[in-house]
Amino acid sequence: MIATTFSDRKTRDTALSLYGAMSGLGIVVGLLLGGVLTDVLDWRWVFFINVPIGLLVLWGSRTLVTADRGRGRLDTLGATLGTGGMVALVYAITRFGEDGLTDPAALLLLGGAVALLLVFVTFQARSSSPLVPLALFGDRNRAGAYATMLLLAVGPMGSFYVITLYLQQVQHFSPLQTGTAWLPFAAGLVLGAGTAPRLLLRLAPRFVATLGALLSAAAAFWFSTITVDTGYWTHLAPAMFVLGLGFGLGILALTQAAVYRVDPDKAGIASALLNSAQQIGVALGLAILAGIAASVTAQPGNTVLAAGEALASGYGTALAAAAGLLVAAAALALTTLDARPNTSQDVSGPAGAETEPVS
């Protein structure tokens, strides 16, 4: 909606910056509220709280701009195949982490995921109204944004999960203390989202996204050195801030690469694919890093260690893997995204209309 509502570059950049900042604010509220609910009531209340929030969003949607109603139809079969394939893939990765690479159920799930996703792609290529128009992937800049977003989401969100476990299981923080401890991440996210539009006026999305991924990689590697007595203010808090800063920069740069200069009738799906890549990356990141942490913790060499030391060893290895995935995201951004900044004021219109070939 931002892409189609604001045609002026400056206004659109401002709207995207505010949109990113709201994400940071939502994280702050969610962390604090989640901690309070878990401490005072019960952890199940973190799910019930979505009911009033959802009703508020529904009420607020009355103010949204009304667009012309399209004539598209829901691709039910495509949605079923795509969702089934991704669920099977994430569940397979989770089982691999819990039961090893030879787990029969996990291997069966992995085979099912590959089959479903291949059928999904084949069906999308032949459908008259596909859920995912494959033509959008024909632009290297946009396809690179989707792939980079998937890897970028793996690192920060996976790190978020692992460090949360570390704070509660090793350092024995309460749920409220854990939520409060993550505030530097939200601060970095807001700063990154606010800074990115100004950087993107001077630098190409390629370099801003690469910078964001490398900052996140540095933070994940910093996290990977945790021990049972790692200090919060000298180690964890600075790394959380850098992680959020890198994620904020990367998100805005990739959003611009994915939704700027796209036909108005395709802006919705272009944005949805970017969001889907992020959500899939989050799911895969949680499954991969949790699996690595569990496998390393359970290794024979770690069973003789104290529980805290074994857990810290597993978490540290998982975070090192997150750093590697984020370096891969940086390399992908550097080789696929636009090499020149988009300095035009009007950024609407067909994809590639104002873009020179990627060098």
The three state secondary structure string of the chain is CHHHHCCEHHHHHHHHHHHHHHHHHHHHHHHHHHHHHHHHCCCCHHHHCHHHHHHHHHHHHHHCCCCCCCCCCCCHHHHHHHHHHHHHHHHHHHHHHHHCCCCHHHHHHHHHHHHHHHHHHHHHHHCCCCCCCHHHHHCHHHHHHHHHHHHHHHHHHHHHHHHHHHHHHCCCCCHHHHHHHCHHHHHHHHHHHHHHHHHHHHCCHHHHHHHHHHHHHHHHHHHCCCCCCCCHHHHHHHHHHHHHHHHHHHHHHHHHHHHCCCCHHHHHHHHHHHHHHHHHHHHHHHHHHHHHHHHHHCCHHHHCCCHHHHHHHHHHHHHHHHHHHHHHHHHHHHHHCCCCCCCCCECCCCCCCCCCCCC
pLDDT band at 357 (very low <50, low <70, confident <90, very high): very low
What's the confidence (pLDDT) of residue 207? 92
Q: For the chain, what is the largest distance between any 2 Cα atoms, rounded to a whole number of angstroms?
A: 65
Residue 14 pLDDT > 90: no
Which residue is listed with tokens 């401002």?
A: 14
- The answer to whether the CB of 239 falls within 8 A of the CB of 320 is no
Is pLDDT larger for residue 308 or for residue 68?
308
* 350 band by pLDDT with thresholds 50, 70 and 90: very low
pLDDT of residue 163 exceeding 80, the answer is: yes
Q: CA–CA separation, 148 vs 296, rounded Å?
A: 27
Q: Return d(Cα 265, Cα 139) in angstroms, integer.
A: 16
Asked whether residue 342 carries a pLDDT value surpassing 80, the answer given is no
* pLDDT at residue 343 is higher than 50: yes
Question: Residue 352: is its pLDDT beyond 50?
Answer: no
Task: Give the pLDDT confidence score for residue 325 in this predicted structure.
Answer: 92
Angstrom CA distances, 36 to 28, 33, 42, 173, 283, stand at 12, 5, 9, 13, 25
pLDDT, tens digit, for every residue of 47-82? 888 899 899 989 988 887 665 555 656 778 888 998
Segment 163-190 shows an average pLDDT of 88
Backbone dihedral angles phi then psi of residue 133, each to the nearest 5 degrees: -65, 115
- Rounded to an integer, what distance in angstroms lies between the CA atom of residue 61 and that of residue 56? 9
d(CA 50, CA 103) in angstroms, rounded, equals: 35
Among 181, 200, 202, 180, which Cα is nearest to 192's? 200
Average pLDDT for residues 313-335, to the nearest whole number?
A: 92
pLDDT digits 0-9 by tens, 225-243: 998 888 999 999 999 999 9
- Tell me the per-residue pLDDT of 263-283, one tens digit each, with 9 for 90 and over: 777 777 888 888 888 888 888
Measuring CA to CA, which residue among 219, 101, 238, 68 is closest to residue 157? Answer: 219
- Tell me what pLDDT residue 106 has: 87
Does the pLDDT value for residue 252 go beyond 70?
A: yes
Q: CA-CA distance, 181 to 179, in Å (whole number)? A: 5
> What is the pLDDT confidence band of residue 196, given thresholds at 50, 70 and 90?
confident
* Listed range (61-75, 154-168, 288-302) with the worst mean pLDDT: 61-75
With beta carbons less than 8 A apart as the criterion, state whether 196 and 253 touch.
Answer: yes
Reference 258, options 150, 349, 144; nearest CA is: 144
Which sequence spans correspond to the domains of the chain? 20-42+133-341, 76-130
Please, is 51 exposed, middle or buried when counting C-beta atoms within 10 Å of its C-beta (0-12, 13-18, 19+)? exposed
Q: Residue 356 — pLDDT band, cuts 50, 70, 90?
A: very low
Give pLDDT, residue 22.
79
Phi, psi of 342, deg, nearest 5 = -90, 105
- pLDDT of 354 reads 38
Range from 136-140, 168-172, 194-198, 299-303 carrying the lowest mean pLDDT: 299-303
Instruction: Return the minimum-mean-pLDDT range out of 33-37, 156-160, 217-221, 352-356.
Output: 352-356
pLDDT, tens digit, for every residue of 97-148? 677 778 899 899 999 999 999 999 898 888 777 777 787 787 788 888 999 9
Q: Which CATH number fits domain 20-42+133-341: 1.20.58.340, 1.20.1250.20, 1.20.210.10, 3.90.1150.10?
A: 1.20.1250.20
Mean pLDDT of the chain: 82
Cα distances from 48 to residues 51, 55, 58, 164, 222, in angstroms, run: 6, 12, 16, 21, 35
State the pLDDT confidence band at 305, using cuts at 50, 70 and 90.
low
**pLDDT reading at 24 higher than 80:** no
Name residue 346's beta-bridge partners.
8
Global pTM value: 0.82
Please give the residue that has the higher pLDDT: either 9 or 196: 196
Residue 272 token pair: 């949805």
CA distance 25 to 31: 10
Distance CA 19, CA 2 (A): 9
